[in-house]
C-alpha cells in the first residue's frame, strides 16, 4: 500500500513525464522551418560551447586526413622529382637530336638505343631500327655530338652498331683545316672503361695542337665527309721520321647515347654543315639575340606611335574646347620619337 | 546506483567528461554510427539516481541537446529521451540488485529503445526502421552498454556507487 507522500511523488513524476512528452510532441508538430529555427537558436546560444567542441573534433579529424593526403602528395612529388634529372637529360638530348635532324640535309633514320648492361655494351650497340625502317649494313651512325659508329648487322626490326670503341673500328679522317690526313682507330693502350681514340698515320712533318677537331674525310666508302670524330688532346707516341700518333678525346660517347641517327645517303654527300663549329653556333645565337632586340625596338616604336596619336587626339579635343592648344601640349622630351622619324639630324 | 548529495561536484565533472567524450573524443577517434553514445550513458546514470519525474526532465533536456545538434526531426529526441529517462529511473526501483550486468542491461535497453523511438518519431520508413533497429541501432546499444559498464567501473569509488556482488 502506497503512502500519501509516495502517491504524491508518483503523481508528480507522471505529471513531469506528461509535460515533457507534451512539449516534445508540440516540437514534433512544428513545421520543419520552425524546428530548424529553434534548433539553430539553441546552437547559437546555450549549446554554442558544445558546437565549438564538436567543430574542433571535426577539425582535428579532417586535419589528420589532410595531413595524410599532404604526406601522400609529398611522397608522390618526391618520387616524380627523382625522375626529373633523367627527363631533363633526355629532353636535352632529344632537342639536340632534333636540331641535328633539321641540319642534316641527307636521308636519315632515327633510332633508339637498347642498352644492355654488359661490359661490351660500349663497343656494340643494339638499336630499334632495322631493314623495315630502311637501315642497311655499313651505314654510319651519328649522335648530335658526332660519330658513334657504323651499322654492323641488320635484322628486320633491329640493327647492331659497331661503335668507335670496337677494336676493329677505323675511319679515315682529317684535321680541321685539311692539312693533315690520317686514320682514326680506338686506342690500343686504353682500358675498356677509359676508351679513347688515336689519330694515326699523321705525317711527321706536320704537328697538330691540342684542341684540333678531327673530322671524317669521306674516303673509304662508308662515312660521309665532315662528321666530328674527336679532338686532339696530345701526342700519344711517335714513329721516328715518318709518323706521329695523336690521342683524341672522342666527340660522342656511345654509352651515353640514347637516340641516334642512321645516315643512309651514301658517301658522295657531305654533312659538315650539320655539325657546325662553336663559332657558327654562337654567331647564330648572336643573330637571334639581335633579332629579338630589333623586335623589341620595333615594339617601342609602335608604342610611341600610339602614344603620339593619343596625344594628338587629346590636343585636338582640347583646342576645340578652350581654343588654346598649347595649354595641353606635353613637353617634347616626354614624347618618344619613332626610329623612322624624318626629322633633320642635329647639326654637329 | 545512487549519488549522495556530497558528491554533486563529482557528478558535474562526470557530466562534463561524458559531454567531452560525446562531442570531442567520439567524432575525432570513433567515427561511425555504432560508436557508443556517451550522452545516453550520462542520462541513464543520472536518471537512475533520481525519481522518475526528474529522470524524465533530465531526459527531456538531454533530448533538447541531441535535437539541437542532430539534423533529425525536432522533438523526436526530446520525446525518446524523456521516456528513456523516466523508465531508467523507474527500472532502478524495480531491479534492486545493482551490479555491472544490470547496469549493462540498462544501458543496452535504454540505447536500443531510444534508437527505436527516435526512428519511429522521426518518420523513418518501415524498411529503414527495421534495418537500423537490427543492425546499427543494436550494435550501438551493445557498444554503449560496454562503454557504460566501463564508466561505472571507473567512477564507482568516485561517485560512491553502491554495487552488489
d(CA B66, CA B62): 6
Q: Is A27 on the interface with B (CB under 8 A)?
A: yes
Is B82 in Cβ contact with A17 (below 8 Å)? yes
| Residue B88 predicted with pLDDT over 80 | yes
Q: What is the pLDDT of residue A331?
A: 44
What is the pLDDT, as a whole number, of residue B83? 94
Q: What is the pLDDT of residue A338?
A: 43
Q: Which residue of A has its CA nearest to B29?
A: A61
Specify the pLDDT at position A330.
45
Cβ pair A16, B53 in contact under 8 A? yes
Given a contact cutoff of 8 angstroms between Cβ atoms, the answer to whether A311 and A324 are in contact is no
Nearest neighbour of B28 by CB, restricted to A29, A36, A60: A60
Question: Chain A partners of B67 at a C-beta cutoff of 8 Å?
Answer: 27, 39
* Mean pLDDT for all residues in chain A: 76
* Residue B75 to residue A43, Cβ atoms within 8 A: no
Please choose, from the candidates A201, A209, A205, A207, the residue with its C-alpha nearest in 3D space to the C-alpha of residue A233.
Answer: A209
Maximum mean pLDDT: which of A291-305, A331-345, B77-91? B77-91
End-to-end CA distance of chain B: 13
pLDDT at A335: 42
What are the chain B neighbours of A9 within 8 Å (beta carbons)? 51, 53
β-sheet bridge partners, residue A202: A244
A290-319 pLDDT, tens per residue? 665 666 666 666 667 777 777 777 777 666
Q: What is the pLDDT of residues A37-70, one digit of tens each?
A: 888 888 888 888 888 888 788 778 778 778 888 8
Which residue among B24, B73, B74 sits closest to A53, beta carbon to beta carbon? B24
Cβ–Cβ under 8 Å, residues A180 and A208:
yes
* More confident position, A347 or A21: A21
The pLDDT tens digits of the residues spanning A169-223 come to: 899 998 877 778 899 998 876 555 567 899 988 887 888 888 888 999 888 888 8
Q: How confident is the model at residue A321 (pLDDT cuts 50, 70, 90)?
A: low
Å from B75 to nearest chain A CA? 5
Residue B161: pLDDT band (50, 70, 90) is low
Amino acid at each position: 500500500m502506497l503512502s500519501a507522500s509516495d502517491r504524491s511523488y508518483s503523481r508528480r513524476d507522471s505529471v513531469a513525464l506528461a509535460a515533457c512528452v507534451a512539449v516534445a510532441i508540440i516540437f514534433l508538430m512544428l513545421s520543419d522551418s520552425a524546428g530548424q529555427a529553434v534548433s539553430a537558436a539553441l546552437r547559437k546560444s546555450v549549446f554554442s560551447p558544445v558546437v565549438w567542441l564538436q567543430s574542433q573534433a571535426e577539425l582535428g579529424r579532417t586535419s589528420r586526413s589532410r595531413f595524410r593526403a599532404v604526406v601522400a602528395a609529398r611522397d608522390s612529388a618526391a618520387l616524380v622529382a627523382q625522375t626529373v634529372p633523367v627527363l631533363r637529360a633526355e629532353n636535352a638530348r632529344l632537342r639536340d637530336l632534333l636540331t641535328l635532324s633539321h641540319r642534316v640535309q641527307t636521308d636519315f633514320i632515327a633510332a633508339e638505343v637498347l642498352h644492355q648492361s654488359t661490359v661490351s655494351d660500349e663497343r656494340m650497340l643494339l638499336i630499334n631500327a632495322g631493314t623495315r625502317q630502311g637501315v642497311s649494313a655499313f651505314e654510319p651512325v651519328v649522335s648530335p655530338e658526332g660519330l658513334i659508329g657504323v651499322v654492323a648487322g641488320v635484322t628486320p626490326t633491329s640493327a647492331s652498331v659497331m661503335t668507335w670503341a670496337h677494336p676493329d673500328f677505323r675511319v679515315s679522317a682529317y684535321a680541321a683545316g685539311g692539312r693533315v690526313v690520317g686514320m682514326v682507330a680506338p686506342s690500343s693502350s686504353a682500358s675498356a672503361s677509359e676508351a679513347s681514340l688515336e689519330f694515326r698515320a699523321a705525317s711527321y712533318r706536320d704537328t697538330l695542337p691540342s684542341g684540333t677537331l678531327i673530322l671524317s674525310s669521306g674516303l673509304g666508302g662508308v662515312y660521309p665527309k665532315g662528321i666530328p670524330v674527336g679532338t686532339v688532346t696530345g701526342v700519344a707516341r711517335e714513329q721516328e721520321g715518318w709518323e706521329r700518333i695523336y690521342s683524341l678525346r672522342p666527340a660522342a660517347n656511345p654509352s651515353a647515347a640514347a637516340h641516334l641517327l642512321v645516315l643512309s645517303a651514301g658517301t658522295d654527300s657531305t654533312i659538315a654543315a650539320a655539325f657546325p663549329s662553336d663559332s657558327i653556333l654562337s654567331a647564330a645565337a648572336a643573330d637571334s639575340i639581335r633579332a629579338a632586340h630589333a623586335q623589341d625596338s620595333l615594339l617601342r616604336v609602335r608604342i610611341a606611335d600610339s602614344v603620339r596619336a593619343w596625344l594628338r587626339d587629346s590636343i585636338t579635343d582640347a583646342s576645340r574646347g578652350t581654343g588654346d592648344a598649347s595649354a595641353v601640349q606635353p613637353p617634347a622630351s616626354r614624347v618618344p620619337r619613332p626610329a623612322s622619324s624624318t626629322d633633320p639630324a642635329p647639326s654637329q | 546506483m545512487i549519488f549522495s548529495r556530497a558528491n554533486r561536484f563529482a557528478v558535474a565533472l562526470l557530466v562534463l567528461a561524458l559531454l567531452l567524450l560525446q562531442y570531442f573524443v567520439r567524432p575525432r577517434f570513433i567515427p561511425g554510427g555504432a560508436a557508443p553514445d556517451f550522452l545516453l550513458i550520462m542520462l541513464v546514470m543520472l536518471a537512475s539516481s533520481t525519481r522518475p519525474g526528474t529522470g524524465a526532465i533530465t531526459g527531456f533536456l538531454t533530448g533538447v541537446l541531441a535535437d539541437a545538434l542532430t539534423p533529425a526531426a525536432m522533438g523526436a529526441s526530446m520525446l525518446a529521451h524523456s521516456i528513456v529517462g523516466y523508465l531508467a529511473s523507474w527500472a532502478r526501483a524495480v531491479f534492486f540488485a545493482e551490479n555491472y550486468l544490470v547496469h549493462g542491461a540498462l544501458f543496452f535497453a535504454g540505447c536500443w529503445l531510444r534508437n527505436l523511438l527516435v526512428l519511429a518519431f522521426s518518420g523513418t520508413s518501415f524498411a529503414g526502421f527495421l534495418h537500423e533497429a537490427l543492425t546499427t541501432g543494436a550494435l550501438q546499444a551493445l557498444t554503449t552498454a560496454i562503454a557504460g559498464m566501463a564508466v561505472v567501473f571507473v567512477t564507482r569509488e568516485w561517485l560512491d556507487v553502491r554495487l552488489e556482488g
